[in-house]
Amino acid sequence: MTDRMDTRQNRQSIIDAGLEMNATGLNQGTSGNISLRCETGILITPSGIAYDKLVPEDIVLVREDGSCPDEQVPSSEWKFHFAAYRAQKTANAVVHNHALNATTLAILNRPIPAIHYMVAVGGGNDIPVIDYATYGTGALSDLVHEGLIERKAILMRHHGMIATGPTLAKAMWLAGEVEALATLYVNLLQITDTPPCLPDDEIDRVLKKFESYGLREKA
């Protein structure tokens, strides 16, 4: 369990990340959700409140048993956030959004293949698509858990994407990289249905190099 605490600063960082998602086009309106792992559970965006209306006190603490203080209403997707943390043991942040190109591919049930070496940021030779299940259900949580066991980011059929990270900044960075890859792939599919891809052994080399690569955060 991480030593990340339920602090006003961490709550504000969730709000700031939500505003950034919408400002950069990674998300729209009140869709999507963001969480941070904390000592007693997770801090997560509430249900149905626009990011630009949030204050730190609106961010919901969901305990390990699913309970919330003061009758607050968390995002309906809180269950799959817990599932993501169970799958990605080193993750301390989960970002979910409905980025347009990633969601386009998710609807088509098209994983993002190794069209570019940066696909390795997701932890493998593709960004896979998990099957569809109704939002907020245990069935969706099970699919998220299975999909994230071997990947840091996944697409969700007829839904959107999930990106994880050891910090919120790194999870946001990964979400942006996945959408960039999705945009590139959508563009390629307008030219050919079978764009050339890098072989698995090259992606294995890149994965090794990526052990020391990624967003660097200043102290």
| Cα–Cα distance, 15 to 38 (Å, whole number) | 16
Give pLDDT, residue 69: 82
| Residue 77 is a catalytic residue | yes
| Through-space distance between the first and last CA atoms of the chain, rounded to whole angstroms | 22
Largest CA distance in the chain: 54
Give pLDDT, residue 117: 97
Task: Provide the residue-wise pLDDT of the chain in tens; the chain has 219 residues.
Answer: 344 578 999 999 999 999 999 999 999 888 899 999 999 899 999 998 999 999 999 999 999 998 998 778 999 999 999 999 999 999 999 999 999 999 999 999 999 999 999 999 999 999 999 999 999 999 999 999 999 999 999 999 999 999 999 999 999 999 999 999 999 999 999 999 999 999 999 999 999 998 877 666 665
Give pLDDT, residue 29: 86
CATH class for the domain made up of 8-212: alpha beta
DSSP assignment string, 46-96: BTT--GGG--GGGSEEEETTS--GGG--B-TTHHHHHHHHHH-TT--EEEE
In the chain, domain spans: 8-212
Give pLDDT, residue 216: 66
Q: Which of 20, 64, 77, 202 is catalytic?
A: 77
